[in-house]
Amino acid sequence: MKSDFLIALTQLAAERSLPKEMVLSAIEAALASAYKKDNVAAGQNIAVRLNPATGDIRVFVLMKVVESVEDDRKEMTLAEARKQKRDAAIDDIIETESNLHMAGRIAAQTAKQVVMQRLREAERELVFAEYASRADDVVTGTIQRTEGRDTIVDLGKTEAVLPEREQVPTERYRPGQKVKVYIVEVDKNARGPQIMVSRSHRNLLRRLFEIEVPEISKGIVEIKAIAREAGSRSKVAVWARQEGVDAVGSCVGLRGIRIQNIVNELMGEKIDVVQWHRDFGVFIASALNPAQAIHVELNEAEKVATVVVQEKMLSLAIGRDGQNARLAAKLTGWKIDILSSTEAEVVRRGRPAPVAAAAVVAPAPLQAPVAATKVAATIAAAARTQAVPAASQRVPEKELVAAGAKIAAEPSPLPKVPEEELAELAIQEAQQAPEEEEEAIPITEDVWKVPILTLVGGPQIRFAEDIMPGRGREGPRRGGRRGRNDGEETGKVRRAAERRRKGEAGGQPAGDQPVEE
């Protein structure tokens, strides 16, 4: 019996992942319930003691010491109690051993049910105690099934619920898939511990950094703030407590291996690691990475930061649908207004952009050419000043307008000429100007005729050498591509031309030989 009882006790404890003492206590409670169902011990308080070494079972009846007995099955007087225990006192519990008797079938069935119930309760207590201490932690689970819009995750000893609001919209969960989840809440009800987990919580990102980066787990690098839009992009601000430690480099790892492991766990979510700084201006500028800030102006009272960036980086600083600016505001806790350098200059001056200064300074019709020249020079100088303002000295627009009006109002040194007389003088000069016309060359039909040249009384031109001058040097030419020597042919042509010229000089046709009679 000893060996069978110990084997069964050990096997049951191993199957339920419970300690032997807890299983033994459940069996004792089940046996006590079985004895209470018996008619002999009905209505009594029964306690059972099991000896795991020998397997012996002892049954005790519990009696309470009172002054006046109302229920003799549960109470006894002080005198009766002192017969069994000399130092007994009022309200003490006296254990009286009872004779062991075999229980019936109903009692045995009750004992079985009680054992199973007690074991389930013990399992729930252990699970609740384990996961209650692991709240705000990351565990690895297996996707088991989907119930409605919620997903059930198997954690090994128990199941957890991944509700729809804690899921990532871009992720798809398949049965059997291994995922890391963040324990949000552990509750206890009649059905056992209820564990709610999350995949979209920002602390999931914090715990993953603590797992992958030893400097964070040891406290050398501290995570100051996290801003996350689950499934899309996140920003993490880190700071090194120890001098000489690169906080951002520690989180990224060699060739980005550490940050890549976190990105893979989050199904490709983009993560920006930025440097935290005590100066909020520097911190806000870093939070807008990858955009580079030119100037940051802080309003401490309203916690509003105005950031000036280059024109080409304005869209990069804002991000798609304003995501980069929104995450930077969540990370720093400040409201961020982003302006380009051009917009910032316009806001600083408090006026519309200087498109055309000449249009702003529009003088009245002038009375003399000298005044017009002065105002035109003033307008040109104003346009240059407004278009390219000097860094050390800028002339306000109002002063330029006043200067133009002042010059226009100055009296002209020349006499005033009425506009009607000026118009008449211009018309007279136009009528008196002589019109110079070029002599036209008449075009006749002879222009289109090509003259035909004919040599009268002389030989026809047959060779190019007859009209081309001779070359400076004589001698055969080099051979062509095929290596032939054309010098002989050239010499023959030259000699033939000489014979023709000699024939012309002697009065004989070229190429004709004298005939002897």
Question: What's the CATH code of the domain at 269?
Answer: 3.30.300.20
Per-residue pLDDT averaged across 197-212, rounded? 94
Q: Which residue has the tokens 């080099």?
A: 478
Question: What's the CATH code of the domain at 67?
Answer: 3.30.1480.10
Looking at 123, 144, 178, the residue that finishes a domain is 123
Residues 16/8, Cβ–Cβ less than 8 Å: no
User: Residue 182: which of 130, 151, 139, 143 has the closest Cα?
Assistant: 139
Q: Is 437 exposed, middle or buried (0-12, 13-18, 19+ CB in 10 A)?
A: exposed
Domain count, the chain: 4
Per-residue pLDDT averaged across 65-89, rounded? 82
pLDDT, position 515? 42
When pLDDT is cut at 50, 70 and 90, the band that residue 178 belongs to is very high
With respect to residue 330, please indicate whether it lies within any of the assigned structural domains: yes
pLDDT, position 329? 94
pLDDT, position 86? 81
pLDDT, position 484? 47
Looking at 93, 123, 153, the residue that finishes a domain is 123
Edge to edge, the sheet with strand 304-309 lists 293-299, 304-309, 335-340
When pLDDT is cut at 50, 70 and 90, the band that residue 30 belongs to is confident
Residue 266 sits in the same domain as residue 281: no
Measure the CA–CA gap between 289 and 181, rounded to whole angstroms. Answer: 29
When pLDDT is cut at 50, 70 and 90, the band that residue 492 belongs to is confident
pLDDT, position 422? 58
Residue 250 sits in the same domain as residue 287: no
With respect to residue 502, please indicate whether it lies within any of the assigned structural domains: no
Whether residue 473 has pLDDT greater than 50: no
Whether residue 381 has pLDDT greater than 60: no
With respect to residue 298, please indicate whether it lies within any of the assigned structural domains: yes
Whether residue 68 has pLDDT greater than 70: yes
Q: What is the pLDDT of residues 37-62, one digit of tens each?
A: 765 566 677 788 877 777 677 888 88
pLDDT, position 151? 94
| Total residues belonging to the chain | 517
Residue 21 sits in the same domain as residue 72: yes
Query: Contacts for 455-458 with beta carbons within 8 Å, 24 or more apart?
Result: 458/504
Measure the CA–CA gap between 462 and 455, rounded to whole angstroms. Answer: 12
Neighbours of 353 (CB within 10 A): 9
Which residues are CB-contacts of 465 (< 8 A; sequence separation ≥ 6)? 493, 494, 497
Domain that holds residue 80: 2-123
With respect to residue 165, please indicate whether it lies within any of the assigned structural domains: no
More confident residue, 308 or 454: 308
Query: Within a 13 Å sphere around the CA of 350, how many CA atoms are in the beta-carbon half?
Result: 1
Lowest mean per-residue pLDDT among 25-29, 176-180, 284-288: 25-29
Lowest mean per-residue pLDDT among 60-69, 82-91, 283-292, 431-440: 431-440
Tokens of 58: 């002892």
Residues 291/313, Cβ–Cβ less than 8 Å: yes
pLDDT, position 373? 42
Residue 245 sits in the same domain as residue 295: no
Tokens of 482: 């095929």
Q: Which residue has the tokens 């989840």?
A: 181
Measure the CA–CA gap between 442 and 370, rounded to whole angstroms. Answer: 51
Looking at 323, 349, 375, the residue that finishes a domain is 349
Residue 119 sits in the same domain as residue 91: yes
Q: What is the pLDDT of residues 106-120, one digit of tens each?
A: 777 877 888 888 888
Cis bond upstream, residue 290 (ω within 30)? yes
More confident residue, 108 or 160: 160
When pLDDT is cut at 50, 70 and 90, the band that residue 325 belongs to is very high
With respect to residue 517, please indicate whether it lies within any of the assigned structural domains: no
Residue 293 sits in the same domain as residue 362: no
Residue 285 sits in the same domain as residue 264: no
Residue 291 sits in the same domain as residue 390: no
Q: What is the pLDDT of residues 398-457, one digit of tens each?
A: 565 565 556 555 554 444 556 666 566 666 655 654 544 444 455 555 545 545 444 444
Q: In terms of pTM, does the model score above 0.75?
A: no
Residue 269 sits in the same domain as residue 282: no
More confident residue, 34 or 464: 34
Residues 245/230, Cβ–Cβ less than 8 Å: no
* AA identity, residue 316: L
Which residues are CB-contacts of 464 (< 8 A; sequence separation ≥ 6)? none
Per-residue pLDDT averaged across 157-169, rounded? 92
Whether residue 321 has pLDDT greater than 70: yes
When pLDDT is cut at 50, 70 and 90, the band that residue 487 belongs to is low
Lowest mean per-residue pLDDT among 25-29, 86-90, 209-213, 386-390: 386-390
Residue 111 sits in the same domain as residue 53: yes
With respect to residue 113, please indicate whether it lies within any of the assigned structural domains: yes
Residue 369 sits in the same domain as residue 403: yes
Whether residue 486 has pLDDT greater than 70: no
With respect to residue 49, please indicate whether it lies within any of the assigned structural domains: yes
With respect to residue 29, please indicate whether it lies within any of the assigned structural domains: yes
Whether residue 476 has pLDDT greater than 80: no
pLDDT mean across residues, the chain: 75
Residue 362 sits in the same domain as residue 249: no
